[in-house]
Structure 1
Amino acid sequence: MKKLSTVLLSASLAVSMLVAGCSSGQPAANNESAPPAANNQPNTTAPGDQAAKLLLLNNIKEPTSLDPPIGFDEPSYNILNNLMEGLTRLDENQKIQPAAASEWKVSEDGKTYTFTLRDSKWSNGDPVTAHDFEYAWKRMLDPALASPASFLAYIIEGAEAYNSGKGKVEDVKVKALDDKTLEVVLAQPASWTLLLASNPAFFPVNKATGEKDPKWAAEAATFVGNGPFKLTEWTHDSELKMMKNENYWDAANVTLAGAVWKMIDDENTEYQMFTNEELHRTTTVPADMADQLFKEGKVYVKDGAGTEFYRFNVTKEPFDNANIRKAFSMAIDRQTLVDLVLMRQQKPGTAFVSFGLPDANGSGDFRQVGGELVKFDAAEAKKLLEQGMKEKGYTQLPEVTLTYRSGTANEKTAQAAQEMWKQTLGVDVKLQKVEGKVLTDMQKQLQYQIARSSWLPDFGDAINFLDIFQSKSGSNRTGWKNAEYDKLIEGAYKEPDDAKRMQMLHDAEKVLVNDAPIAPLYFYNTSLLSSDKVSGIVSSSLSYTDLRKAVVK
């Protein structure tokens, strides 16, 4: 691959990109301890000054919404995870911990969860009650609200019917038995229920506030939360400030005085602010500095849950043929892609489900157990293409176009794939660059041949990766339908035995990869710079940033 190597080595480094999956946005920043940052200057703020204790972060852009079921993306949820709190939280090891609920019980059939709430207060002093949770969860399912997160609650009995307009709110089995007891009845057992309870979409909403002011979450003056921090200032599209919430149930153990979140969407500006100590960490590594910073060991890298991949439109030629799809996937040298194009130490996408998700009964890693299902094999790719063309009666392959979202990393990846397909398959693929919203619309309408895509899980279970390719799923966007696959996913949703459920998911992933409506590219990670003045920022590959234990020197 001499020609390709020359192309890749001469290419500029790709920036870390914003990914758009179900929870669109950038992969979450991860648990410290990061190496010290480069070129830090002494802090000139007086030691006793309160400003010296504020953590300075970049959120990249304005939160979509701080109303939990509406702001269904990372820019919103990173903020919300510190202003509010659900029944449970994930720790840095992705293990469930009690949060607003002090304990819970699960019925023998695995369908009824009874949560006991601890004594806690909202930031306005009101008590947090089970009625607030019932109100919030049913509100998320209200068809009139049109929450993009509502499908997550479909495991609750009556939830899907109500959300789809076929049932009544009274039939949604979420009920406050009293101020401190919440009962949730599932349609079928779901071992990931406690993981879902930690997702910001399931955060409570102060019932009195929500009923009085539908726009309560739009400004700092009206925002009411139950988390470790309270929203004190919000200059839209510029910055947001939060300070320690004295009403939080565990305020005594919150070490951080507060944080300021900037909204800087330019990596060079962000890096300059970092070197000037106007930010304590970056969200990216600047392209023109990446090689030097990685070599100097100043970049903190950690695996994250999420996958970059290409979708094939199986309703359009030539990708209505499985062997042609498999040939295009097998012709991608993923190791070269991550080593010479992205250069951010990502892992090559050897399957669809990423690392960082537990296997049966929480033991092991799903990806490690499942092994490598996708590989680069130039000779086999050529054979598959020849076989597929023969099956289709082609003497020449129809024109092929790869459509990708604008952005440096996406463009470099597309150019590399284009060159790989040319060298291995002898196919000239055209490239089409569009804006993100345009690409999403094209996928929904199946108006593409190959399209750049990504997926970030909403909760830490492999089913949240694989269920999107069910025939009925609105997130499928490939036109692919497979009865065996649908049966395996439906069975996994109903199977109470976790070992059997996970085997169904492994089997489903094999069906997906073998039929190849997608071509995995690489698994996400986080690469960032962090000041040596900061420690204790916690986030697993699946959770959002948690600042409770952060310390600023």
Structure 2
Amino acid sequence: MRKTWTAVVSILFLVSTFAVGCGGGKDAGIEEKRRQLKLNLAAGEPTSLDPAKAFDGNSMEVVNNLYEGLTRLDKDSKPQPAVAEKIEKSADGKTYTFTLRDEAKWSNGEEVTAQDFAFAWKRVMDPKTASNASFLMNVIKNAEKYNAGKASAEEVGIHVRDDKTLIVELEQPTPYFEELTAYTPFVPVYKKGVKGKKYPFSEAKDFVTNGPFKMKSWKHEDNITAVKNDYYRKAEDVKLAGIEWSMVQEGTTAYQQFKMGEFHYLDNTSIPPDLQSKIIGKGEAKVSEAGGLDFYRFNVKEKPFTNAKIRRAFALAIDRRAIVDQVVQGKQQPAYAYVAPGTITESGDFREGGNQLIPENNLEEAKELLKEGMKEEGLDKLPQIEILYNKGDKNKKVAEAIQEMWRKNLHADVSLKAQEIKVFMENRSNGNFIVARSSFLPDYNDPYNYLESFQTGHPMNQTGWSDKEYDTLLKSAYKEVDESKRMQTLHRAEEVLMEQMPICPLYFYSDITMQKPEVKNILNHPVGPNDYRYTTIKG
């Protein structure tokens, strides 16, 4: 009888222990889910998560948190050593020696090596990759020539001394080079995961990364889930269990989901334009300065925008103040030039030294320019004009407002066409548009970065525009070491751009964010994507 009772007690003890264990596992699962940051990619499916091709805000945000470069931006948006433990610069400023950390690992536990960086950077430059970010590499010796097929990969100024030492030769001293190495096109790539694959980076199983998070799942057109990377060099500082990026493109829906607790954080791309003013006024959203701007591209190979006077007429016929105050409503600034305020150089804010290059509310000049331009082109009537834009509430409302302004002020027949982001980007890149919505987020905080994109043949030009004076000015500014002269040259380049008007600035960005009070320590940079490595969720 005693044996039987002892057996019963033992069984009950095991059952209770098992139950406690199950409860602990369940609680741990709940805790892990609670520490998962829920975000939204308002433009939908990323165009690419290949670091060499991820060159839009959606894509770079994900890449920035899956990977890490030689440097990484700190809370003050300054580059600090990351995968690199030590950075040495030669006396002439043209050679950098990066010493990699021993603890830098891939998410599979293998060491990150100097060869991984050399392979990744040359892959961005390789013309076969067709990377829109290749121009960022042009500061490196022979990178531009390699991309143009005029030099070999071996001639590029990237040298691997050993597994832990990367030596980079520049074309000339580049004060913002360390900042560039924090940017997503400069992250390393796991060579064995790319070599020989036709479509790398297309599925979750393809990803071996070295950042604070690693890919867990990717349900295309729906969501991307990442989890903490235990092999990250500073894994102990990463408090989140993971991140889930949803892809809700309808602003009102995203806002309602935030209110219901389904998102922890929204930026202005996810907040409905018609609600922004109200949300800001109620204190539900925070507004801060940001770099970049929204603008329209004119296809200068398509009539009527083959004529500079007509392009300028259409630019002058837009009431930017009305767009800011009545449409986007996020305390943005009207853009009467291209380089944004807050673009700081050694000489100070570039915009403070520049003129208002687009007259405000000058419809008479717009009408006169249109008349002159049509006469020069032999046009009795304007052809129909189509505004192409990527789907989104804000983009639609801005396009509708400009459609009405051009109809009312210039008697133009304007139609609108919305496309999914991937199709839109492809059509814009291929010149399949008349007017196309565009945006620019700076890669580094210098006016040259804004202006370099419109040089002849630049992959980000996408207008068909070419101007010898502009090209000469940009080349001169690139080589100029006297900061005062460099700024004078860049101001003149911006003037030429606004005189010829292959693009039409609309408004400079502000950073509008909604964040749950329990979420802390999101690194939100004026230049570059958000960083969630120090983010915490308390509750």
Fold match (TM-score > 0.5):
yes
Shift of 1:289: 4.4
Cα distance in 1 for residues equivalent to 2:385 and 2:51: 38
- How well do the aligned residues superpose, as a CA RMSD in angstroms? 3.1
Greater share of residues in helix = 2
Q: Retained in 2: the 8 A contact 1:191–1:496? A: no
Query: Offset of 1:482 from its aligned partner?
Result: 2.2
Match of 1:115 among 98, 107, 110: 98
1:8-43 CA-to-partner distances (Å, cap 9, x unmatched) read xxxxxxxxxxxxxxxxxxxxxxxxxxxxxxxxxxxx
Higher-Rg structure is 2
Which of 130, 142, 145 is 2:129 aligned to?
A: 145
Q: Which amino acid is 2:341 matched to?
A: F
Q: Is 1:338 aligned to residue 324 of structure 2?
A: yes
3-state secondary structure, aligned to 1:480: coil
* TM-score, normalization by structure 2: 0.84
Q: Secondary structure of 1:529's match? A: strand
541-550 or 107-116, which deviates more: 107-116
Return 5+ residue gaps in structure 1 as ranges: 1-44
Between Structure 1 and Structure 2, how many residues are aligned? Answer: 506
**Which deviates further from its counterpart, 232-241 or 437-446?**
437-446
Match for residue 372 of structure 1 among 352, 356, 360: 356
Q: 1:290 deviation in Å?
A: 4.0
AA of the residue aligned to 1:78 = E
CA distance in 1, matches of 2:465, 2:200: 42
1:530 to 489, 493, 515: 515
Provide the C-alpha distance between the structure 2 equivalents of 1:518 and 1:52, rounded to a whole number of angstroms. Answer: 45
- CA separation of 1:371 and 1:541: change in aligned 2, threshold 3 A: farther
Tell me, in whole angstroms, the C-alpha distance in 1 between the residues paired with 2:370 and 2:252: 47
Change (3 A) 1:500 1:107: farther
1:53–1:432 CA distance, 2 compared to 1 (3 A): closer
Distance in 2 separating the partners of 1:240 and 1:370: 42
What corresponds to 2:53 in structure 1? 70
Q: 1:259 to 1:413 in 2, by over 3 A?
A: closer
Decide whether the 8 Å contact of 1:331 with 1:381 is kept in 2: no
Shift in CA distance, 388/477, structure 1 to aligned 2, threshold 3 Å: farther
- Candidates 277, 282, 287, aligned match of 1:301: 287
Structure 2: distance between partners of 1:267 and 1:301: 18
**What corresponds to 2:398 in structure 1?**
413
Deviation at 1:531, TM superposition (A): 0.8
Pair 48,232 (structure 1): closer, same or farther in 2 beyond 3 Å: closer
> Partner of 1:282: helix, strand, or coil?
strand
Secondary structure of 1:105's match? strand
Amino acid at match of 1:96: P
- 165-174 or 496-505: which moved more? 496-505
1: CA distance, partners of 2:285 / 2:146: 48
Of 495, 502, 506, the match for 2:480: 495
Query: Could you tell me whether the CA contact under 8 Å between 1:196 and 1:202 is conserved in 2?
Result: yes
Report the equivalent of 1:85: 68
State whether residues 190 and 493 of structure 1, in contact with CA within 8 Å, keep that contact through their aligned partners in structure 2. no
Residue type at the aligned position of 1:70: K
- CA 1:324–1:241: 2 relative to 1, 3 Å: closer
Relative contact order, higher structure (CA 8 A, sep 6+): 1
Give TM-score, length-normalised by structure 1. Answer: 0.82
Distance 1:394 1:222 in 2: 56
Instruction: Say if 1:414 and 1:431, in contact at 8 Å, map to a contact too.
Output: no
**1:311 aligned residue:** 297
Shift of 1:546: 0.6
State whether structure 2 residue 439 is matched by structure 1 residue 457: no
Q: Give 2:53's aligned amino acid.
A: I
**Equivalent position SS for 2:76:** coil
Match of 2:181 in 1: 197
Structure 1 residue 215 displacement after superposition: 6.3
**Offset at residue 383 of structure 1 (A):** 6.6
**2:505 match: secondary structure:** strand
Quote the Cα distance in structure 2 between the aligned partners of 1:399 and 1:258.
52
For 2:87 and 2:223, the matched residues in 1 are separated by 38
Unaligned segments of structure 2, at least 5 residues: 1-26
**Bigger shift: residues 404-413 or 222-231:** 404-413
Q: What is aligned with 1:100? A: 83
Residues 356 and 541, structure 1, Cα contact 8 Å, conserved in 2: no
1:232 to 216, 220, 241: 216
Distance 2:203 2:352 in 1: 45
User: Does the Cα contact within 8 Å between 1:57 and 1:262 map onto a contact in 2?
Assistant: yes
Q: Which residue of 1 aligns with 2:7?
A: none
Matched letter for residue 504 of structure 1: T
Structure 1 residues 137-216: aligned runs within 5 Å:
137-211=121-195
User: Higher mean Cα deviation, 112-121 or 533-542?
Assistant: 112-121
Query: Does residue 1:257 correspond to 2:224, yes or no?
Result: no
The 3-state SS of whatever aligns with 1:337 is helix
Alpha carbons of 1:375 and 1:90: their partners in 2 closer, same or farther (altered >3 Å)?
A: farther
| Equivalent residue number for residue 454 of structure 2 | 469
* Shift, 1:382, TM fit: 4.9
SS in 2 for 1:294: helix
1:462 offset after TM fit, Å? 2.0
| Residue type of the alignment partner of 1:377 | N
Q: Partner of 1:20 in structure 2?
A: none
- 1:36 paired residue number: none
Deviating more after overlay: 446-455 vs 222-231: 446-455
Deviation at 1:209, TM superposition (A): 4.5
Q: Contact (CA 8 Å) 1:244, 1:254: kept in 2 or not?
A: yes
Assess if the C-alpha contact under 8 Å between 2:41 and 2:248 holds in 1: yes
AA in 2 matched with 1:100 = V
Q: CA deviation at 1:183?
A: 0.5
Amino acid at match of 1:328: F
Change (3 A) 1:524 1:386: closer
Per-residue displacement from partner, 1:286-312 (whole Å, max 9, x unpaired)?
Answer: 356445423312122233322222333
Does the 8 Å CA contact 1:46/1:52 hold for their aligned counterparts? no
- Counterpart Cα distance in 1 of 2:186 and 2:482: 25
1:362-413 deviations in whole A, cap 9, x for unaligned? x633223324322313355257437725963879553452423254433432
In the TM superposition, what whole-angstrom CA distance separates every residue of 1:88-125 from its partner, at most 9, and x where no partner exists?
A: 11234332222111232222333211112222222222
Please give the alpha-carbon distance, in whole angstroms, between the structure 1 residues aligned to 2:204 and 2:412: 53
